[in-house]
Amino acid sequence: MSRPDVHVLNGPNLGRLGRRQPEIYGTTTHDDLDRLLRGWGSDLGLRVHFSQTNHEGELLDWLNRAADLEWPVVLNAGAWTHYSYALYDACAQLTAPLVEVHISAPSQRAEEFRHTSVVTPHAAKVIEGEGIDGYRQALEFIAGQGAQ
């Protein structure tokens, strides 16, 4: 029996993890996160496909693919979370579980614009402020949902 596929998608600037504002986002690098995700996924019986982009259209293409394949998605859309109606529409078409993840807690950040998410209305679960461990929690949630 094959392991279910899960898309873990990161938006803008998240490829700079470990270098970008480590006091907020920690010291785990993007490559470290990739290795962690694959290990956590394997432990949970999931096959993780991890991608990061600074180009909104590319993220939308990945979400469209996930919708077509009925794959669960773990999404940290970065700044697009707060204003991209194209992202809102792409998330609306997903039928498998969508888990919204944020390393920091946007709802607690000083910048008012961070308090709004266009992803949340479509998410089965939102995990924020748990650092990199939020991704592990998201995979556990998906595994518990009987990932497709």
Q: Residue 47: what pLDDT?
A: 97
Domain range summary for the chain, segments of one domain joined by +: 5-144
Per-residue pLDDT at 101 exceeds 70:
yes
As annotated, the binding site for substrate includes 76, 82, 89, 103-104, 114
Read off the pLDDT of residues 34-72 as tens digits, 9 standing for 90 and up: 999 999 999 999 999 999 999 999 999 999 999 999 999
Q: Which of 55, 85, 88, 102 is catalytic?
A: 102
**pTM > 0.85: yes or no:** yes
- Between 79-83, 103-107, 113-117, 141-145, the lowest mean confidence (pLDDT) is in 113-117
102 is catalytic: yes
Q: Provide the CATH topology of domain 5-144.
A: Rossmann fold (3.40.50)
What CA–CA distances, in Å, run from 9 to 1, 108, 110?
Answer: 25, 23, 25
